[in-house]
Structure 1
Amino acid sequence: MRKPSAEDLELGTRSGSGTTSTPDQTTLNAGSSSVDNNENEKEKYPTTMTADEEAGGARTDEAADEIELPNGGYGWVVVLCVLGVNACTWGVNTTYGVYSSYFLQHNYYAATQLDYAWVGGLSAAIAVAMGPLANFFVRKFGFKAPMYFGSVMVGLGQCCAGVAKSFGGFLACQGIVFGIGLGMLLVPSQPLVAHWFDKRLAFAQGIAQAGSGVGGVIWANTTPLLLQRVGVKLTLVINGVITMVILLIATFFIKGRHTAVGAKSASFHVSLVWTNFGFAWFLVWGALTIMAYFIAIYTLASYCTDGLGLTQKQGGAVMSILAAGQIVGRPVWGYALDRGGRVNMVIVSYLICGVATLAIWMPGRSFGLMALFGLLHGLTGGTIHSAATPVLTSIVGLQDLGSALAIYWVDLSVPSLVSQVLAILLVNYSRNHLGKTGADAYTISIGFCGALTFAGAFALYGSKRYLQGDFKVLKKS
């Protein structure tokens, strides 16, 4: 039987390791403005508990219903701040394919395509693996301290990568330093929108998650121009400084309502993996679809330039179209999740993405088809980032959400690291052993990407079966 999610009003921001806490009634009556002006609220937010809860009692449904979220007001500022964070983290990371494509064309660092694949995979893997450590820092210092640190690391990683004189230095800066900054920003900011919205949560969170698309559009268009005019070093330094400034400003203005919603950092309960088979299938879905996602965003630009012989400008244009699709797709799918069933709509999105991968990208040999695929993949392929939290809340319930999310982030680390590496190994195999050249050398790799997408959609059906208790395909869940 599934655990109650209370329609997941706060996406688990009130979840704990076993019990959840009730905020002080005075705090609730004071409204969001009093909370916003409280430094402890913004930084360390100790949670207030009732006498019953201190004695071991669990929070009642009636107490949970007393919390009224603003559903607007300063919440929209928080949405814009989280959008900015996503634009300068995942948005920047999305355009790494533009750099690797340029490096290959100009034999930069004298490194191979496989070498550059490790850089992108390493930054993403470290970012998601930082989940437990970032949660520890949030418990110790509040959510803003790790976000300020992450802001500096994201900018520093890019700037140092720009002045690196060897591939090893570039790998350390762009892969490790940048990845640490990514994780320190993403994990603390993930639940903040849910502190402000319940009735319009799916829409608000979709807008915030669309930030990666906004950033992708900006960086995918400006980076190729900068590469041509000022070179790699200054491009990385300029992008690093700009992103650092934006991230520091966003962190300054962002606010949480941890005490008001009774948020607690949950423990790392690994037993959820084998006691909740719906969660186990969810982890399989996450691992498969994140691999497909990174193969597409890291390989597509190289496929356009190296495989099809298109220009850097055209390759960047395809990536910007993909990012534009994310801007539209994530809010739209976020809205659709609560209308057609959260698990149902995620499965549909990945079935569409799988079809587009095999029917458009694989046989595509022109800029027009690549632009079409980029749009479709942007609309559907990044659903994992906007849908993971609400779907997981439906599967494990509010009390176990914090722990489940921590496990989920770790689950994504290895697939994020090896996804593009496996894709390039398949490209090299096609070239060296099968004698394939140009776009044909990418066929097996693209097929692998499509297969991962379809497999992820079918894996999530296991979670659907857990939620609804039967195998009915069209049933809302």
Structure 2
Amino acid sequence: MPPVGGKEEVEEIECAKATAPDGGYGWIVAICTFMCNAATFGNVTSFGVFLSFYRQNDYFPGTSDIQYAFVGGAIVAIALVISPLSNYLGNRFGFRLPMIVGVLLYTGSQIAAAFARTFWELLLSQGIAMGLGVGLIFIPLLPILSQWFNKRRAIALGLATGGSGGGSLVFSIVTRASIENLGLRWAFIVNAVVCLVVLIPSVLLIRDRSHVLGGKHNMEPLELRWLWHRGYVWVWIWAFFSLMGYVFAVWTIPTFAVSGLGLTQTQGANLQAILAAGQMVGRPGIGLVADRMGRINTAAVFTFVAGLSCLVVWMLSRSYGVLIFFAIIQGMTGGTFWSACGPVTAEVVGVKDMGSAMAILWIICVIPNLVAEPIGIELINYSGQVLGKQGADAYLIGVGFTGGCFVVGALALLGTKRFVQGNWKIWERT
């Protein structure tokens, strides 16, 4: 890896690598991070169940499909856009205080959403406030876990990010059952209670190793230099396009099942759960492969496979069985970014600068998370209203767009590989 700073900086990075225990209490931190991801992004990923219910039942009269889509996009976009604030608070007060504030805000926002009566109340509660809570919880996690691992970093981060799949599996089933048996209000309340019970002990058990990196949390609020860094620019291009594909795929599968294939709401929720089960297997698996094949190599290959699954399998899906097959493949590969962004960033910039580099990455990721689903819905509406396509055929342009985004993201990582290796040898372990 080319030096990213002066001699002192390189020495600090090497010191951190040398002293990383690669296990021990680090596995407790990994498990706690798994649980945090399950209760935050696992819950957020199940927004597809809410979206399908809102659209099918016109729950907030006068609200368009685009507006509903922006609620889900706002959750992740707000969570990422506050990364500089989260980093600043982590430096100023330690990582735990902002995380606890985030837990309270996150669970409170779901209680508030339970009593929403208009679209704007829903946007403020389930969208903006929930996103603020997720951001304060999630942003410190990747740098902290990376402090505990070097050779096993990718598998540890893969295990931890697999929590979003586990959480999505649980919350997809629980949310659908709660809506059907208790109503939308109680679905929010049940989810909030579950999140609170999971998050509080997890946050309290997490420890960092900031003394290794100079005695502080070592996160700069924002450093713009990563926008034009010769190696990192390709990382954020990969992030942008792969997330455009990922967001649309994850949140559209239940709607495609119901509106495109005429399946039931329960079958749509089941597909979301199957996709989540794929994430549980795929994300740790990606980490395991990454530690053997190279982290950049693995990220590029699995992102490319996610694109092919859209262009070859999803585009031809006309039955529940084929859609299940797609959900499994997409679940295992579509979220490659979330498993690999930390290890890939560490490969390019080093552990010491990981927090500041990823702060830029999170800001860039705001755009695809915010607009991917609305763009996809507009493409579906164009196919239906202008081209006269019906059922599954109305989704073809959107599915093609999704697959294309994954492929472009995978190809962008070749630039990162070239920077780290210093050559264009594609099969070199990087």
Shorter-chain TM-score range: over 0.9
Residue equivalent to 1:148:
100
Aligned-partner Cα distance in 2 for 1:62–1:180: 31
Is the Cα contact below 8 Å between 1:3 and 1:394 reproduced in 2?
no
Deviation at 1:362, TM superposition (A): 1.1
2:377 maps to 1:435: no
Residue equivalent to 1:237:
189
Change (3 A) 1:58 1:106: closer
Structural mapping, 1:394-405, within 5 Å = 394-405=347-358
Is the Cα contact below 8 Å between 1:67 and 1:261 reproduced in 2?
no
| Cα RMSD, aligned residues only | 1.9
Q: TM-score, length-normalised on structure 2? A: 0.95
Residue equivalent to 2:116:
164
Deviations along 1:194-230, whole A, 9 cap, x unmatched? Answer: 2333343322222111100110110111111111101
Residue equivalent to 2:378:
425
2:332 maps to 1:333: no
Deviation at 1:440, TM superposition (A): 1.2
Equivalent position amino acid for 2:2 in 1: K
Equivalent position amino acid for 1:244 in 2: L
2:302 maps to 1:349: yes
Aligned-partner Cα distance in 1 for 2:12–2:138: 30
Is the Cα contact below 8 Å between 1:282 and 1:463 reproduced in 2?
yes
Is the Cα contact below 8 Å between 1:159 and 1:241 reproduced in 2?
no
Aligned-partner Cα distance in 1 for 2:14–2:153: 20
Equivalent position amino acid for 2:279 in 1: Q
Equivalent position amino acid for 1:90 in 2: F
Aligned-partner Cα distance in 2 for 1:447–1:62: 42
Deviation at 1:61, TM superposition (A): 6.3
Aligned mate of 1:304, from 257, 260, 263: 257
Deviation at 1:290, TM superposition (A): 0.9
Deviations along 1:321-364, whole A, 9 cap, x unmatched? Answer: 11111111111111111211211111110111111101111110
Deviation at 1:75, TM superposition (A): 2.3
Deviations along 1:371-394, whole A, 9 cap, x unmatched? Answer: 111110111110101101111122
Deviations along 1:273-298, whole A, 9 cap, x unmatched? Answer: 22x22211111111101111100111
Aligned-partner Cα distance in 1 for 2:14–2:259: 59
Residue equivalent to 2:225:
271
Structural mapping, 1:209-288, within 5 Å = 209-262=161-214, 263-266=217-220, 268-274=222-228, 276-288=229-241
**Secondary structure at the counterpart of residue 472 of structure 1:** coil
Aligned-partner Cα distance in 1 for 2:350–2:143: 15
Aligned mate of 1:131, from 44, 60, 83: 83
Stretches of structure 1 that go unaligned for 5 or more consecutive residues are 6-17, 21-56
Deviation at 1:261, TM superposition (A): 4.5
Looking at CA atoms only, which structure, 1 or 2, has the larger radius of gyration? 1
Equivalent position amino acid for 1:348 in 2: V
Residue equivalent to 2:144:
192
2:131 maps to 1:179: yes
Deviation at 1:95, TM superposition (A): 0.5
Residue equivalent to 2:50:
99
Q: TM-score, length-normalised on structure 1? A: 0.86
Residue equivalent to 2:346:
393
Residue equivalent to 1:117:
69
Aligned-partner Cα distance in 1 for 2:84–2:250: 26
Deviation at 1:471, TM superposition (A): 2.4
**Count of residue pairs brought into register by the alignment:** 427
Deviation at 1:107, TM superposition (A): 1.5
Aligned-partner Cα distance in 2 for 1:445–1:317: 22
Change (3 A) 1:65 1:391: closer
Identity across the alignment (%): 37
Q: Any runs of at least 4 consecutive aligned residues in structure 1 with deviations exceeding 4 A, and if so which?
A: none
Aligned-partner Cα distance in 2 for 1:293–1:70: 33
Change (3 A) 1:305 1:73: same
Change (3 A) 1:307 1:421: same
Aligned-partner Cα distance in 2 for 1:382–1:193: 19
Deviation at 1:399, TM superposition (A): 4.3
Aligned-partner Cα distance in 2 for 1:224–1:457: 34
Residue equivalent to 1:46:
none
Aligned mate of 2:410, from 449, 457, 470: 457
Is the Cα contact below 8 Å between 2:261 and 2:318 reproduced in 1?
yes
